[in-house]
Amino acid sequence: MSTIRLGDIAPNFTAETTEGKIDFHNWLGDSWGVLFSHPADYTPVCTTELGAVANYKAEFDKRNVKVIALSVDGITSHKGWIKDINETQKTTVNFPIIADEDRKVATLYDMIHPNADDKMTVRSIFLIGPDKKVKLMITYPASTGRNFDELLRVIDSLQLTAYHKVATPANWKAGDDCVIVPAVKNEDIPSLFPKGYTEIKPYLRMTPQPNLK
C-alpha cells in the first residue's frame, strides 16, 4: 500500500453509496471534492459530524465542492443511520455515504491505522481539486470530532491561492489581508495587486484579498 502525499492524483475507485454506484473521478467531474471517513455507523461523534456536513451543504455548494462520506458498514446500515442523523441533528443528509464493507477504499486511502483500530477507519479528510490532485489531508483520532468551519477556511484559502500569487497567514479567514508570495518582485506588485500593499519586512508583504471587490 503506497502512501498518499499532497499533490498526488487521488486514487480512483468505484463504490456503492447511499445514492447509487459511483466512479469517484467521474462523480467529481470539474468540482472540488471532500472525501471523509468515519469509524462506524451509529456512533455518537459521527452522528454529529454527518449532521454538521449536511447543514453546511449550501456552503460547500457555494464553493463548488462535492462531499462524500465513507465507513466500512453497509448500505442498509447507512440508510437506517441516516434516519437517526436527520432526527437528532435536525437536518436532512444530502450527500452520498460510501459502503466500504470490503475496506477497498479505506485501504486505498490508508484510512485504517492498526495501532489505533485494526477494523474501523480513522477520521480522515481528503480535499481534492478539480485536477484530481490531493490538496489537503487531515487525520483526527476517533474520539475527536472534526471542525468543518476550519475545512471551509482551508478551502477558501486553497481556492484563492490557486489563482492569485498570495498565501494566507496564520488564522486567516476570508476577507483578511494576504501575504504576497516571495517570488513576486516589488516592481511587479502594482500590476498584480492594484489595491496596494504594506511591506513589514522585505520578505513579508501584505495586501488586501485580491479577489474581493
| Residues recognised as catalytic | 46
Place of cell 462531499: 67
Closest to 181 (Cα-Cα) out of 194, 163, 155, 154: 163
The distance from CA 40 to its chain's CA centroid, rounded to whole angstroms, is: 19
The one-letter amino acid code at 117 reads: D
Neighbours of 72 (CB within 10 A): 24
Closest to 73 (Cα-Cα) out of 49, 105, 51: 105
Maximum CA extent, the chain: 62
Nearest-angstrom CA–CA distance, 72 and 98: 8
